[in-house]
Amino acid sequence: MKLADTTLDVDARRLTRDVAIAFSTVVKRFDTGTIALDGIDLDVHRGDFVAVVGPSGCGKSTLLRMAAGLERPTEGSVALATDSVGFIFQEPTLLPWRTVRANVELSAELGRGDAAVRKARAAEAITAVGLDGFADQLPRSLSGGMKMRVSLARALTLAPEVMLLDEPFGALDEMTRLDMQVELHRLYSNKGFTSMFVTHSVSEAVYLANRVVVMTARPGRIASVIDIDFPHPRSPGLRFDPKYTEYVAQISNSLHGSTR
């Protein structure tokens, strides 16, 4: 079991067999004096899909970056039970001179491993995200949604146990965004990775997550954690379920209360 660099001794106790990411009384104070996060206690269980919503600047990205080991907490600790992690950002960050296939192969190329296995995994990931037939194209010929699919495929080649997603669909138009939510949900249901997903969209959070964490305005604290009691796999028609609307209202109220 790997513990992130940021780990203090207390982490080992929080990381039980069921916990993939453990935040223990995390405080993040930047050198500028900004206190981004204050007293975050959160366990992300294996197989969970946790969505994090909160006002702009409340520290959502910082939380995710700490899970990835890209930031250290000022106080408290963050522990990750695996080093098998995929990170997806809002921008797909593709290399423009490489084809879809070559972009997807990139993350595996940076790691170790057999070239043939790497290529097979990339081909499988391209199929998994529905990009068969586009593998030899360059990013400039793809739509925004397709670029995001490439980014997902690139992360999938590593068969990550944990997927960290920072507003991956924020730059997409509404229709594409809904399609990508269905796509991500399908991948999550099939592959079973643990997910931590930052979004500004309450509706997106309810569709995808089995737990939604609502944060307060900065310094970010956890205002509420709401369990979304819909079975998996979920269908797009779920959005018309009255219970769905109730969850959206409940979370929006918590969010609204947290910004006052």
Ligand X SMILES: Nc1ncnc2c1ncn2[C@@H]1O[C@H](COP(=O)(O)OP(=O)(O)OP(=O)(O)O)[C@@H](O)[C@H]1O
Residue numbers of the site for ligand X (CB under 6 A)? 30, 32, 34, 36, 54, 56-62, 218
Q: In the complex with ligand X, which residue's Cβ is closer, 30 or 97?
A: 30
Shortest distance (Å) from residue 135 CB to ligand X:
32
Shortest distance (Å) from residue 169 CB to ligand X:
14
Q: In the complex with ligand X, which residue's Cβ is closer, 148 or 215?
A: 215
Q: In the complex with ligand X, which residue's Cβ is closer, 36 or 128?
A: 36
Of all helices (H) and strands (E), which one includes residue 20? strand 19-29
| Alpha-carbon span 4 to 175, nearest angstrom | 38
Tokens 């939510």 correspond to 181
Q: In the complex with ligand X, which residue's Cβ is closer, 61 or 157?
A: 61
Shortest distance (Å) from residue 198 CB to ligand X:
6
User: Which of 95, 101, 242, 86 is CA-nearest to residue 168?
Assistant: 86
| Alpha-carbon span 105 to 210, nearest angstrom | 31
Shortest distance (Å) from residue 172 CB to ligand X:
16
Helix ranges restricted to H, 129-227: 144-156, 174-191, 202-208
φ, ψ for residue 243 (rounded to 5)? -65, -30
